[in-house]
Structure 1
Amino acid sequence: MKEQKKYKIFGLLIYYILRVLSKTYKVEKISAEGVMDENAVYVSWHNKIVPITVIMDKLKKKAALASASKDGELISVPLEKFGYKVVRGSSGRDAVKGLLKMVKFLKDGYIVGTPVDGPKGPVYKVKPGMLFLAQRSGKKLVPIGAASKNKWVFKKTWDKIELPKPFSKIVCILGKPISIAPDEDLNVVALRVEKVLLELDRQAEIKINKK
């Protein structure tokens, strides 16, 4: 119980740091559809979770999937403070239960999502959870790429998570929504989504480094 409380305190600290920093960022959002609030499944890489949380900040109906582990507390606490409905259970035996709860949120008009290579990697390898969610719900999958002009990179973390520095410019690119047919092989879809996400990140890096 003491350890859980410790994680919650750290989670709150992360939230307040992000809240202060987010006020200084200059954000550019580029969308293939021209909208951000489509009722769909949004996916990105785990190391881009900070800039993407920032661009989602003003959206009202949003839900996210977080690990049921104690480490998930570090993510779920700030997400809840940013206005997300957080479902715990992104791995192990709680995975199906968590995904079914996310289906309900989708049916209620929420946008939902989580990093597709989380919670522990391997980095840049798409896991099937969010793909299954889009397939099961009949909703589209919206890939998001992101880049920050100036950032700290935490190299000791498994994903080398990025934290934009104060007053940094952030570029987020929403790719073309992907429809997944009921009979499609999710392993094949995963490879396609990996290529799309890496390309969107590349485009965001090019965009942000233009003079």
Structure 2
Amino acid sequence: MQIFFELKEKIISFLLYYYIEFVYKTSKIEKIGRLDLLEDSCKDKFIIFIWHGDSYCYYPFLEGKKLNIITTKNKRGGVISRISSHFGYDVLRLPDTGGNGDYIFKVRDLINKKTYANLVMSVDGPTGPQHEIKNFALIMALFSKRKILPVTIEAKHKIELKKRWDKLKLPLPFNRIKIKVNDPFNPTKSDRKEKFITIKKEIKNVMESQIGDN
């Protein structure tokens, strides 16, 4: 049975990463904003915030860049891990639930001392609610002493899986895709004292804004 699940996972991953490559090759990709902050030459490294429902649209965006991606240890995370590895990203697989919380420090040490790369997080995942930023993502930024870099994406033509909690978006080929690297946010201990309420609202407003409106 385990062999069957692994084979299924491989086939699904294969189809998905070649499909998204085809989408990018046949589409007009417009990249705007603080792209300089994602260059390898940038001395600062960030926690990159994206929405879970947009995550599939991003994979080829930073292909070849040094990048860590957080996903879950369960079966959902298996496909994501394979796709991420295909595009050259390092995958950090964490449990869905917090457990004793020590993995926050393990991830911090890994990204700051060993890999020293930008870290991507689907900040309303892994189970939602949609577009509600989790405290863990902000705590991770605070503990690792990194700024938050919200990245947003718009695909003109897409399929939206509306029955899923995250309304997962699948971009179509021959598309127009716009990606914006927004200005960074710097979380502080004062933000934590107020349970990140204000900074969550500010980041959410940026991430929900239409790219052309900013």
**TM-score grouping bracket, smaller chain normalisation:** 0.7 to 0.9
What's the counterpart of residue 163 of structure 1? Answer: 170
What's the counterpart of residue 20 of structure 2? Answer: 18
Q: What displacement does 1:187 show? A: 6.2
What's the counterpart of residue 82 of structure 1? Answer: 87
Q: What displacement does 1:73 show? A: 1.1
* 1:167 partner letter: F
* 2:211 partner letter: A
Query: Structure 1 31/195 Cα, relative in aligned 2: closer, same or farther at 3 Å?
Result: same
* 1:106 partner letter: N
**How far, CA to CA, are the matches of 1:93 and 1:193 in structure 2?**
20
What's the counterpart of residue 75 of structure 2? Answer: 70
**How far, CA to CA, are the matches of 2:184 and 2:78 in structure 1?**
30
* 2:112 partner letter: L
**How far, CA to CA, are the matches of 1:28 and 1:139 in structure 2?**
27
Query: Structure 1 32/120 Cα, relative in aligned 2: closer, same or farther at 3 Å?
Result: same
**How far, CA to CA, are the matches of 1:95 and 1:161 in structure 2?**
30
Q: How does 1:1-211 map to 2 (within 5 A)?
A: 1=2, 2-32=4-34, 34-37=36-39, 38-59=44-65, 61-93=66-98, 96=101, 98-103=103-108, 104-107=110-113, 108-182=115-189, 184-185=191-192, 188-189=195-196, 192-204=199-211, 206=213
Cα RMSD for the two superposed structures: 2.4
* 1:45 partner letter: W
Q: What displacement does 1:169 show? A: 1.2
Query: Structure 1 109/128 Cα, relative in aligned 2: closer, same or farther at 3 Å?
Result: same
**How far, CA to CA, are the matches of 1:12 and 1:95 in structure 2?**
35
Query: Structure 1 194/138 Cα, relative in aligned 2: closer, same or farther at 3 Å?
Result: same
Contact 2:46 2:118 in 1 (8 A): yes
* 1:79 partner letter: S
Q: What displacement does 1:24 show? A: 1.8
Query: Structure 1 51/109 Cα, relative in aligned 2: closer, same or farther at 3 Å?
Result: same
Match of 1:158, SS? coil
Contact 2:23 2:175 in 1 (8 A): no
Aligned residues: 206
* 2:29 partner letter: V
Scaled by the length of structure 1, the TM-score of the pair is 0.85
**How far, CA to CA, are the matches of 1:21 and 1:203 in structure 2?**
21
Listed as ranges, the gaps of 5+ residues in structure 1 are none
**How far, CA to CA, are the matches of 2:6 and 2:132 in structure 1?**
29
Question: 1:164-205: CA deviations, max 9, x gaps?
Answer: 111211111222111122453176435533443443442316
**How far, CA to CA, are the matches of 2:8 and 2:99 in structure 1?**
23
Query: Structure 1 101/15 Cα, relative in aligned 2: closer, same or farther at 3 Å?
Result: farther
Q: What displacement does 1:158 show? A: 1.6
